[in-house]
Each structure stands twice: as structure tokens, then as C-alpha cells.
């Protein structure tokens, strides 16, 4: 079985899902047709609804504040505990039958205007309005285009359907239920975003130096063979080492294959399908982790790493690989079993990083032309499936797949993730494998060229490619925060930075033709040189 090819299959799965976004409560519904107006100009904010049952703290729910009504306090200490009651009638489309005397009222979504419910509740003396959605998602409550001069002086919050069911059950089973409403502000920058940035940059950095070092060793070995051989060998030294060079055709086909796979994930997404992806991820992760560990341990256990034994089905396997394999398999199995636990993200990131680094050793961009085609296709792919797909499917296909909305689980595993440590809303900062792997192919190519051309970091291209990737990822974070956590395609920002930096710099230095077509500097043939010197 060709584990390298299997690894490539797994990475194609990951390439189908590469958004960059933060989870902290899903808000749906576009309100472009209902702009802000006097009395209906609040920003949409997430609201925490903490409950107390008979004086004992109970469940906490998350809702979203309406465009209208008063704003909600941001600090928990400034929020009062207020009694909760059910509306009568339930939809509050007509005036409640009883005075509410400062209570928070639960209202079904119903069919009348949100502002009508709020006016009726305020007239009856309610201090706040909790509207229960008829779906699991949150919904932005806006004013109708023809509504003017609104003066609603109580806050209105939309809660998902399951939260309404729980609140109603509390009221039915207990005599006293109180709620506390507040909307804590999210920090501008969370340390999780810093760590994720370092993780992505560090992964490409490690993979680049490993790939460049292997390329240099292959060239040295080739030159030794040429010096000692009577005839020039056919092909390149790297050709038999399991390296796969991407061409322009395969770069274009990526968009077609990845799009088809993404649609399949979107249509077939379910619990069992995510389980299948977990299995594939574990197989790829085991191969990646094993390859990385063997490469590191080979420095101290060279003899063990160069001694082989034939294993049925797997062929010749080194003793070092056999020693490392059980640990890698156990690591992946433990992660798969406990992947829903709070610390499971650590195992997922370890397996994911090892897989990405391994793929960056197997798959290579031969020149800047192929790298430009690949990143340009991925650039269009990312934009289409994050933004334009909303018009065709009424939702962003890529984000739905990455979150695993229809799977009953916490998204697909082909992501690096870190919990937002100081965010009161929790959630994760995540990045898709493709946002590291695809730019990484071009960045590693730049360092291989620098190594073969004997260029220093300053005079070469790797440093600038690495800085461009880091800046592109940083701009992605800025856009993510400006868009209030809504999904952002990282390649939208990364690709222009990398290609712009490399092409501009290469043209200025006069290396563009070599980088664009050859991908490596011309080297004199030692074999020919030796023959000429003996004549």
C-alpha cells in the first residue's frame, strides 16, 4: 500500500474545506434590505442569558440583540436578576392579558412584526423580551422598511429554539425562575489568534527548511554520481524519491476536484460521514507523524533507520519505523476516541501539522508559473465557495461543511484549532489545512531555489515569501475582527501578498524568467567538466 498516495488523498479532503473563522454562536439572515434608521440602529450583539432556578444558578443560553430597543449592559455585575414569565398569548401579537410588573417575558416568534411584540410587551410592563426562534439558529431581528419613529425602550433578544424549550421546561417544573441579561464585549485580539498565527507560520517554516535541505542533499548526491559515472544518468536524482511535481494541468484540475468533493461533503454531511473523515484523517496523521518522528530520530539512530525488514503488505520497512509506528497509531486512536473533550484540539493540531509537513515534502511546485496557477485557482475557489455560493445554496457551503452543521458533531477534523482563551464567548480560532498547505508549496519552492542558488536570506526569496505569508495571515485576522467573526477565506488575502512579493522582487532582480520556467538555477555539469579537463 502506497502510504504517500493515501496521504495525498487525505489532503485533498482537507483542501475542500479551508475557511478561516471563529465560532461563537451562529447568526443568520442578511438585513441589507433593512438598513439602520432612528429607533432601529443598534449593532447586533450576542447576549448571555444566565438562569437561576429557585435561587440556584442553572443553564446559560446565548441570544442575539435586536436592531431596536435599548442596549444591554456589558458587565455581569451591572445586570440584575429578573423574574421570567411566559407570555399570554404566546406570540404576544396582541396585548398580554396580565400586567408583567418588570418581568422578562418569553414570546414565540409567531407571524406578527418583532416591533409589534416589543411594543405590546412594553405596554404590559415587561422589562425585557425574549423571542424564541422556530429554528435552531439565531436570527437578526430588524425593523420593517416602512416602520418609522420607533421608540421601544426595552431590550429584545432572539434565542434559538432549543433554548426556548429549556426555559419553558424550567417554568413548568419550578416555581421561581430568574434570568440575568448581559452582553460582554469580545477582546480585540485573543491570544489564541497569536498562537494560531505562529503555528501556521512555524509549520511552513519547518517544512520549507526540511524540503530545501532534502533538495540540496539530492543535488550533492547527484553530483557525486555524475563524477563517478561513465555515463550521465537519465532523469533527475529526485525522480525516484517519491516526490510528486505539480504541473499546470493538475493545478487547474484541483479546482474541479476540490469543488466536486466540497459539494459531496455538503450534500452527504452526516454523523457517519464525519466518522469516515476522522478515520481518513487518523490514517494520514499517523503517516505524517511517523514520517516526522523518523526524520528527527534518524540523527541519533541512523543505523536502525537504515536497517530494513520485509513486512507483509507493507514491503521493506526500517526498524526505526517499526519502533515508532505503535506510538503514532496509539496517539491517533486516543485522539479519535476523546476528540470531543476540551483538550482534544492539541492532538488534532499535532496530527494535522505532521500531515501538512509530510505532504510539503512529497508534493512540490517545480517553478513559479505552476505556483502562480495553483494559488490563483485556489484564490478563486476560496472566494466562490465562501461568498458566491450563498447565492446558489442560500448559505456559505464551505463554512457549513467546516462547521459540520448537519453532522451532529463539532465540524470536520481537517483544521488546526485553538480555543479562544480570554473570549467570554468561548469558541475556537481555526484555520483550514489548505490555507497553510497551498501557500506553503510556493514558500518551500522559494527556499529550495535559494538553497540551490546559494543565496543568503536577504538576497534570496524565501524571507520575503515568508513575510508575505505572515502579513497575509495577519490581514486575515484584521478582516475577521472587522467582520465580527464571520467566515473569511484566508487565501483572499494571502495569495496577493505572496505572488505580488515574489513576482515583483524577481522581476526587479532579473530572475523572473528562471523562476517562472526553470524553477532552479543553472548548474554546470561536473561530468562534462571532467571530460573537458582530460582532453
Q: What is the mean pLDDT of residues 408-424?
A: 78
pLDDT at 250 over 80: yes
Note whether 155 and 279 are same-domain residues.
no
pLDDT class of 436 with cuts at 50, 70, 90: very high
Q: How confident is the model at residue 529 (pLDDT cuts 50, 70, 90)?
A: very low
Q: What pLDDT, on a 0 to 100 scale, did the predictor assign at position 118? A: 93
pLDDT digits 0-9 by tens, 442-453:
999 999 999 988
**Do 144 and 209 have their domain in common?**
no
Rg (CA), the chain: 29
> Nearest-CA neighbor of 61 among 173, 175, 157?
157
The sign of the torsion formed by the CA atoms of 389, 391, 394, 399 equals positive
pLDDT class of 430 with cuts at 50, 70, 90: confident
Q: Which of 190, 382, 423, 511 is catalytic?
A: 382
Work out the angle between the directed axes of helices 491-509 and 434-452 (0-180°, nearest 10). Answer: 20
Query: Is 80 exceeded by the pLDDT of residue 239?
Result: no
Contact 11, 433 (CB under 8 A): yes
Is 468 domain-assigned?
Answer: yes
Residues recorded for the chain? 535
Q: Per residue in 22-42, pLDDT tens? A: 343 444 444 555 567 788 888
Judged by DSSP in three states, 42 sits in coil
Confidence at residue 458, expressed as pLDDT on a 0 to 100 scale: 85
From the list 522, 528, 534, the residue with the least C-alpha distance to 230 is 528
| Max avg pLDDT among 266-270, 397-401, 504-508 | 504-508
Among 339, 211, 348, CA closest to 289: 348
Q: Which of 163, 182, 201 is the last residue of a domain?
A: 182
Share of residues in the chain with pLDDT > 90 (%): 36
Instruction: For residue 313, name the pLDDT band (cuts at 50, 70, 90).
Output: confident
The Cα 432–Cα 18 span in angstroms is 4
382 is catalytic: yes
What is the number of structural domains in the chain?
A: 2
Phi-psi region of 419 (alpha: psi -120 to 50; beta: other; left: phi over 0): beta
Same domain, 201 and 125: no
Q: Is the pLDDT of residue 132 over 90?
A: yes
Does position 345 have pLDDT exceeding 80, yes or no?
A: yes
Residue of 423, 435, 450, 511 marked catalytic: 435
515, part of any domain = yes
- pLDDT for position 337: 93
The average pLDDT across 280-292 equals 90
- Could you tell me if residue 15 is inside a domain? no
Average pLDDT over residues 373-400: 84
186 vs 47: CA distance, rounded Å: 12
Compute the distance between CA of residue 158 and CA of residue 135 in angstroms, rounded to an integer. 11
Average pLDDT (140-158) is: 85
Residue 112 sits in the same domain as residue 198: no
Residue-range definition of the domain harbouring residue 443: 191-226+243-523
Same domain, 394 and 490: yes
Judge if 474 and 398 occupy the same domain.
yes
The pLDDT score that the predictor gives to residue 137 is 77
Listed in sequence order, the residues at least 6 apart from 117 whose beta carbon sits closer than 8 Å to its beta carbon are 91, 92, 93, 107, 110, 129, 131, 156
Domain co-membership, 151 together with 213: no
Q: What is the pLDDT of residue 482?
A: 76
Tell me which of 182, 201, 234 is where a domain ends: 182
Residues 126 and 199 in one domain: no
Active site residue 435: yes
**Strands of 211-368, DSSP E:** 244-245, 308-311, 315-318, 363-364
pLDDT top residue among 235 and 415:
415
Do 273 and 392 have their domain in common? yes
In a domain, 75, yes or no: yes
Asked if 58 and 51 touch (Cβ cutoff 8 Å), the reply is yes
pLDDT confidence of residue 467: 96
CB 351 within 8 A of CB 308: no
Within a domain: residue 371? yes
User: Does some domain include residue 2?
Assistant: no
In a domain, 234, yes or no: no
pLDDT in tens, 178-227: 999 999 987 877 888 899 999 999 999 999 999 888 888 877 777 777 66
For residue 445 the three cell numbers come to 519552492
| Whether the predicted pLDDT of 241 surpasses 60 | no
d(CA 82, CA 178): 5
What mean pLDDT do residues 283-301 have?
Answer: 89
| Residues 206 and 178 placed together within one structural domain of the fold | no
Task: Report the CATH number at residue 139.
Answer: 3.50.30.30
> Quick one: 40 and 167 in the same domain?
yes
Mean confidence (pLDDT) of the chain: 82
Q: With a cut of 80, say whether residue 434 has pLDDT above it.
A: yes
Query: Using one digit for the tens of pLDDT, what is the confidence trace for 34-70?
Result: 567 788 888 888 899 999 998 889 999 999 999 999 9
Closest CA to 413 of 13, 20, 25, 3: 13
Q: Is residue 367 part of a domain?
A: yes
- Shared domain check, 148 and 261: no
Domain termination site, one of 130, 163, 182: 182
Amino acid at each position: 500500500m502506497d502510504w504517500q498516495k493515501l496521504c495525498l488523498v487525505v489532503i485533498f479532503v482537507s483542501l475542500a474545506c479551508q475557511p478561516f473563522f471563529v465560532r461563537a454562536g451562529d447568526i443568520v439572515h442578511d438585513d441589507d434590505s433593512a438598513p439602520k434608521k432612528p429607533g432601529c440602529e443598534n449593532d447586533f450583539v450576542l447576549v448571555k442569558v444566565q438562569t437561576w432556578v429557585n435561587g440556584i444558578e442553572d443553564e446559560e443560553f446565548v441570544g442575539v440583540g435586536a436592531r431596536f430597543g435599548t442596549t444591554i449592559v456589558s458587565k455581569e455585575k451591572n445586570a440584575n436578576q429578573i423574574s421570567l414569565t411566559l407570555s399570554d398569548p404566546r406570540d404576544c401579537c396582541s396585548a398580554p392579558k396580565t400586567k408583567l410588573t418588570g418581568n422578562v417575558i418569553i414570546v414565540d416568534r409567531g407571524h406578527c412584526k418583532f416591533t409589534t411584540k416589543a411594543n405590546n410587551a412594553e405596554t404590559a410592563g415587561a422589562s425585557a423580551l425574549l423571542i424564541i426562534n422556530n429554528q435552531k439558529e439565531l436570527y437578526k431581528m430588524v425593523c420593517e422598511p416602512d416602520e418609522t419613529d420607533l421608540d421601544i425602550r426595552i431590550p429584545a433578544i432572539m434565542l434559538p429554539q432549543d433554548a426556548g424549550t429549556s426555559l419553558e421546561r424550567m417554568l413548568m417544573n419550578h416555581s421561581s425562575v430568574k434570568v440575568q441579561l448581559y452582553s460582554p464585549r469580545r477582546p480585540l485580539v485573543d491570544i489564541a489568534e497569536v498562537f494560531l498565527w505562529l503555528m501556521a507560520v512555524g509549520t511552513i517554516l519547518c517544512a520549507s527548511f526540511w524540503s530545501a535541505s532534502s533538495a540540496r542533499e539530492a543535488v550533492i548526491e547527484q553530483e557525486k554520481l555524475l563524477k563517478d559515472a561513465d555515463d550521465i544518468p537519465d532523469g533527475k536524482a529526485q525522480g525516484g524519491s517519491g516526490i510528486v511535481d505539480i504541473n499546470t494541468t493538475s493545478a487547474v484540475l484541483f479546482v474541479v476536484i476540490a469543488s466536486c468533493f466540497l459539494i459531496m461533503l455538503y450534500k452527504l454531511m452526516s454523523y457517519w460521514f464525519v466518522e469516515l473523515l476522522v478515520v481518513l484523517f487518523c490514517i494520514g496523521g499517523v503517516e505524517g507523524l511517523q514520517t516526522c518522528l523518523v526524520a528527527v530520530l534518524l540523527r541519533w539512530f541512523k543505523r536502525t533507520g537504515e536497517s530494513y525488514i520485509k513486512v507483509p503488505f507493507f514491503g521493506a520497512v526500517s526498524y526505526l519505523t517499526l519502533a515508532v509506528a505503535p506510538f503514532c497509531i496509539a496517539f491517533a486512536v486516543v485522539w479519535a476516541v476523546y476528540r470531543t473533550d476540551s483538550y482534544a484540539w492539541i492532538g488534532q493540531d499535532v496530527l494535522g501539522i505532521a500531515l501538512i509537513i509530510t505532504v510539503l515534502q512529497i508534493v512540490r511546485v517545480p517553478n513559479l508559473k505552476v505556483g502562480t496557477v495553483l494559488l490563483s485557482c485556489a484564490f478563486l475557489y476560496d472566494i466562490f465557495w465562501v461568498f458566491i455560493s450563498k447565492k446558489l445554496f442560500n448559505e456559505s457551503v464551505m463554512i457549513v461543511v467546516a462547521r459540520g452543521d448537519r453532522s451532529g458533531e463539532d465540524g470536520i477534523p481537517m483544521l488546526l484549532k485553538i480555543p479562544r482563551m480570554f473570549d467570554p464567548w468561548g469558541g475556537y480560532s481555526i484555520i483550514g489545512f489548505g490555507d497553510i498547505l497551498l501557500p506553503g508549496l510556493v514558500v518551500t519552492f522559494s527556499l529550495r531555489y535559494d538553497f540551490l542558488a546559494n543565496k543568503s536570506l536577504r538576497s534570496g526569496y524565501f524571507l520575503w515569501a515568508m513575510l508575505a505569508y505572515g502579513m497575509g495571515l495577519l490581514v486575515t485576522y484584521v478582516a475577521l475582527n472587522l467582520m465580527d467573526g464571520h467566515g473569511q477565506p484566508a487565501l483572499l488575502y494571502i495569495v496577493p501578498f505572496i505572488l505580488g512579493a515574489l513576482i515583483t522582487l524577481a522581476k526587479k532582480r532579473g530572475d523572473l524568467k528562471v523562476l517562472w520556467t526553470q524553477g532552479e538555477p543553472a548548474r554546470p555539469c561536473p561530468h562534462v567538466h571532467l571530460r573537458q579537463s582530460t582532453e
